[in-house]
A and B are shown apart, each in its own frame.
Chain A
Amino acid sequence: MPLSLINWRQVWVLYRRELRGALRERSIVVNSFLLPVFLYPVLLWLTFSAMVFVEGLSEGRVSRIVLLDLPAEHAELRDSLSAAQSVEVREDTVSVEQGVAWVLDGELDAVAEFLAPGPEAEALPDNFAVRISYDRAEERSRRASDRIESAVTGYRDRWLEREARDLRVSREQLEGFLIYRNNVATERQVGAFLLSLMVPLFVVIMVALGCFVPSIDTTAGERERSTWETLMSVSASRMSVVTSKYLYVATLGLAAGMLNVTAMVISIGAVLRPLAGELAEELQFRIPLLAVPVLLIGALALALFFAAAMMLLASFARKFKDGQAMITPVYWLALIPVFLSGTPELHLTPTLATVPIANVAVMMRDAINGRFDWLLIGESLLVQMVFVVLILWLARAVLRFEDYLLGSFDGSFWRFARQRLLARRSSDALPVE
Chain B
Amino acid sequence: MTEPTVAVRGLAKTFYDEARGEVRAVDGIDFDCRPGEIFGLLGANGAGKTTTLRMLATILRPTAGVARLMGRDVVEEPVAARRTLGFYSATTALYPRLTARETLEFFARVNLYPEEKVDARVDYLVGRFGIAEYVGARVEKLSTGMKQKVSIARTVAHDPPILIFDEPTVGLDVINALEMARVIRELRDEGKTIIFSTHIMSEAEKLCDRIAIIHNGKILASDTLDALRVATGRHYLEDIFVDYVGGVEEMPGFIRESGSAAE
Evaluate contact between B109 and A13: CB separation under 8 angstroms: yes
Identify A229's interface contact among B59, B78, B107, B158, CB under 8 A. Answer: B59
State A163–B192 Cα separation when bound (angstroms).
111
The bracket for how many chain A residues form the interface is: 20 to 34
Query: Given A428-B16, A430-B61, is A229 in contact with B92 using a C-beta cutoff of 8 Å?
Result: yes
Q: What 0/1 pattern do residues 19 to 59 of A give for CB contact below 8 A with B?
A: 01100110000000000000000000000000000000000
Contact across chains for B112 and A10 when beta carbons are under 8 A apart: yes
Of B82-90, B203-211, B215-223, B251-259, the stretch lying at the interface with chain A is B82-90
Name the residue on B nearest A23 (C-beta): B97
Evaluate whether A229 and B89 lie within 8 angstroms (CB atoms) in the complex, with A17-B106, A234-B107 already known: yes
Report the Cα distance A17→B139, complex, angstroms. 14
Q: Residues of A contacting B57 with CB < 8 Å?
A: 232-233
Residue B102 CB within 8 A of the other chain: yes
A429 to chain B, nearest CB (A): 11
User: With a CB–CB cut-off of 8 A, which chain B residues contact A183?
Assistant: none
Residue of A nearest to B154 (CB): A230
| A10: chain B residues within 8 A (beta carbon) | 110, 112
> Smallest distance from the beta carbon of B64 to chain A beta carbons, Å?
14
Contact call B97/A21, Cβ cutoff below 8 A: yes
In this complex, which of B78, B79, B85 has the most chain A Cβ atoms within 10 angstroms of its Cβ?
Answer: B79
Q: Does A433 contact B (CB under 8 A)?
A: yes
Interface check A181, CB cutoff 8 A: no
> Which residue of chain A has its CB nearest to the CB of B87?
A233
Contact residues, B54-81 vs A (CB, 8 A): 57-61, 78-80
CA of A395 to CA of B159, assembled, Å: 33
Contacting B110 at CB < 8 Å: which of A225, A234, A425?
A234
- Interface membership of A402, Cβ < 8 A: yes
Residue B95, interface by CB 8 Å: yes
A residues within 8 A CB of B109?
Answer: 13
CB of B180 closer than 8 Å to a CB of A: no
- Tell me if A235 counts as interface (CB < 8 A to partner B): yes
Among A9, A226, A425, the residue within 8 A (CB) of B92 is A226
Does residue A237 face the partner (Cβ distance < 8 Å to B)?
A: yes
Question: Once the chains bind, are A227 and B112 in contact (CB under 8 Å)?
Answer: no
Question: Is there a chain B Cβ closer than 8 Å to A68's Cβ?
Answer: no
**A406 within 8 Å of B (CB atoms):** yes
Q: Assess whether B175 is interfacial by the CB under 8 Å rule.
A: no
Whether the Cβ atoms of B111 and A234 lie closer than 8 Å is yes
B260 within 8 A of A: no
Docked Cα-Cα span, A220 to B125, in Å, equals 31
A402 and B60 contacting across the interface, CB-CB below 8 Å:
yes
Task: Enumerate chain A residues within 8 angstroms of B106, measured Cβ to Cβ.
Answer: 13, 17
Across-interface contacts of B87 in A (CB, < 8 A): 230, 233
How far is it, in angstroms, between the C-alpha of A370 and the C-alpha of B92 when the chains are bound?
54
In the complex, whether A376 has a CB less than 8 A from a CB of chain B is no
Report the separation of the CA atoms of residues A227 and B95 in the bound assembly, to the nearest whole angstrom.
7
The distance from the CB of A403 to the nearest CB of chain B, in whole angstroms, is: 8
CA distance A225 to B138 in the complex (A): 15
Q: Are A225 and B82 in contact (CB under 8 A)?
A: no
Identify which of residues 210-227 in chain A touch chain B, using a CB-to-CB cut-off of 8 Å.
Answer: 225-227
Residues of B bordering A, CB below 8 Å? 16, 57-61, 78-80, 82-83, 85, 87, 89, 91-98, 102, 106-107, 109-112, 138, 158
List 18 other contacts, CB 8 Å, given A20-B98, A236-B79, A425-B16: A10-B110, A13-B109, A17-B95, A20-B97, A229-B59, A230-B93, A232-B57, A233-B57, A233-B58, A233-B59, A233-B82, A234-B111, A235-B85, A235-B158, A237-B78, A402-B61, A405-B59, A433-B79
A/B interface sample: 15 pairs, CB < 8 A: A10-B110, A13-B109, A17-B95, A17-B110, A20-B97, A226-B91, A230-B94, A233-B58, A233-B85, A233-B92, A235-B111, A236-B79, A236-B110, A402-B61, A406-B59
Identify the 10 closest CB pairs spanning chains A and B, nearest first. Answer: A226-B93, A233-B87, A235-B83, A235-B82, A230-B92, A21-B97, A24-B97, A13-B109, A13-B110, A235-B111
